[in-house]
Amino acid sequence: MSDLPLRPASSEDTDFDPSIASSPCDIAAVPSLLADISFLRASFDVSTNRDARLHLLDKARALVRSLETPRETMLKHVGAETACFFSLALGVDVGLFTALAKGDTPKSVNELAGTIGFDVDGLSRILRHLAAMGYIVQTGKDEYKSNNFSKAMTIPIVADGYPFYRSVCIAPMLHLHKWLATKDYATPTTGRDNPFTFGNQTSQTMFEYLAAFPPFNEQFNHHMGGYRLGRPSWFDPAVYPVSDALLGNDIKADDVLLVDIGGNMGHDLTRFRAAFPDAPGRLILQDQASVIEAGPAKALAEQGIEGMPHDFFTEQPVRGARAYYLHHILHDWPDDKCEVIVKMIKSAMVPGKSKLLINEHVIPSVGASWEATYLDLYMMILFGSRERTEQDWKGLLEGKCGLKITRIYNPGNGVEGIIECEVPV
Ligand SMILES: C[S@@+](CC[C@H](N)C(=O)[O-])C[C@H]1O[C@@H](n2cnc3c(N)ncnc32)[C@H](O)[C@@H]1O
């Protein structure tokens, strides 16, 4: 199928004067946004208070959107940000950000081009755009230095999201319109026929594809680490009361306290161990064999975390644990597959003792956060799955799986809540 426009361009099907596109999007909102920002600045220490910083950021984003004209927003979307994204991914490939950050000194384009083996003209144009967009700093003619953003791009768990999205996730997004057109605009609902399989020309699901291409798997695993950076953990007292809900004298050293199913490289269990060094019982990390074998087994073992290859579509080998934990697992799968995953866990749970803790977004019906809505769209195109609302979770976990949701712990705006379930006694 060609990529010609599905709808011919026409300038006659609008009720609006073109001048709307060159006027600020919402100039009337600017005074009150400025007042809000000034108030927040005076009231909070935004450098140490995460919620205050996020609140201020929301207002600052709203201010930018209000001041920008539709034309400026359009150019930013279609050109400036896409050029940035692909330049950043390319920069990661060739080691640009490591070379730029070395010694924390300004570097000439010639010097950088020599270090990374790049054409001077092409590099100078890439650097000029990244500086114009604020992702590096221009210090003089043909001279640049790092800022905190580009220094962070030397850290693999931050940087690898760029080549990962470019090489694995963008083709599905690029082909979304074509896939939808061939399906009469039906929403994808399976892992085997969706924009991911279409865009990447594969019959494999995304996780099969990653297992077949270890460099992509490594980028994905790094991205999982970067995704959670700086976020409150599920065991933060403001999110879930671990001490009251899970820990107790009844747990012996040989009992299993927590099984992190699909726990990837152990990002969550490592942090849990650091937060609760004296928690009784065993901590078990389960994931696909390819992930467990590539993971940091020695470091995990030193922290008392046991790695265990396990396919979560098969019988759960750890019976009667205090808690089974799923973080961003069920959002990868449509309901019929989630039902299998959850029922495998349910049959290993002991009523009155075991809990299933699901760490996922619980999308509110109004005012969803972009952190949940962007992932929902990627879940749709990569897996034919979704981020879920409270109603969706009830339908799946209680309606289809026969569990009881004992409580939903929502740390705010539906981002990364804990859905606590038990087997009805
Ligand atoms: C979105 S990641 C979430 C990882 C981790 N829980 C976290 O929050 O960082 C999904 C994980 O599911 C794992 N996975 C996919 N299919 C699996 C299967 N059939 N059995 C076990 N793990 C699987 C992947 O390897 C990956 O680590």
Closest residue by CA, ligand 1 atom 9 = 224
Residue of minimum CA distance from atom 1 in ligand 1: 328
CA–CA separation, 44 vs 37, rounded Å? 11
What does the DSSP 8-state code read for residue 19? G
Q: What is the pLDDT of residue 143?
A: 98
Per-residue pLDDT tens over the stretch 288-299: 998 999 888 888
Arithmetic mean of pLDDT over the chain: 94
Closest ligand 1 atom, CA of 221?
27
In ligand 1, which atom is closest to the CA atom of 210? 25
| Domain edges within the chain | 21-68, 71-154, 159-228, 242-364+384-422
Q: Could you tell me the distance, in angstroms and rounded to a whole number, from the CA of residue 307 to the centre of ligand 1?
A: 14
Partners of 388 in the beta sheet? Answer: 362
Fold of 71-154: Arc Repressor Mutant, subunit A (1.10.10)
Q: How confident is the model at residue 8 (pLDDT cuts 50, 70, 90)?
A: low
Q: What is the pLDDT of residues 10-65, one digit of tens each?
A: 666 788 888 999 999 999 999 999 999 998 887 767 667 888 888 899 999 999 99
**Residue of 300, 329, 345 best suited for mutating to test ligand 1, as the one with most atoms within 8 Å of CB:** 329
Q: Label residue 351 by pLDDT band (50, 70, 90).
A: very high
Taking the C-alpha atoms of residue 55 and residue 53, their distance in angstroms, rounded to an integer, is 5
Each residue of 160-176: pLDDT tens digit? 999 999 999 999 999 99
Residues 6 or more apart whose CB falls under 8 angstroms from that of 337 comprise 191, 313
Check pocket membership of 349 for ligand 1, CB cut-off 6 A: no
What sign does the dihedral 33-39-44-46 (CA atoms) show?
positive
- The CATH H-level (homologous superfamily) assignment of domain 242-364+384-422 is Vaccinia Virus protein VP39 (3.40.50.150)
> The whole model's pTM is what?
0.92
User: What pLDDT is attached to residue 47?
Assistant: 65
ipTM: 0.99
CB of 313 closer than 6 angstroms to any ligand 1 atom = yes
CB atoms within 10 A of CB 342: 25
Q: Which residues are catalytic?
A: 331
Is the CB of 207 inside a 6 Å radius of any atom of ligand 1? yes
- 411 Cα: distance to centroid of ligand 1 (angstroms): 23
- Going from the Cα of 188 to the center of ligand 1, the distance in angstroms, rounded, reads 20
- How would DSSP label each residue in 38-101? HHHHHH--TTT-HHHHHHHHHHHHHHHHHHS-HHHHHHIIIIIHHHHHHHHHHHHHHTHHHHHH
Q: How many whole angstroms separate alpha carbon 410 and alpha carbon 417?
A: 5
Give 132-155 pLDDT, tens digit per residue. 999 999 999 999 999 999 999 999
The per-residue pLDDT for 334 is: 95
Interhelix angle 120-132/81-94, rounded to 10 degrees, is: 130
Highest mean pLDDT among 37-51, 67-81, 409-423: 67-81
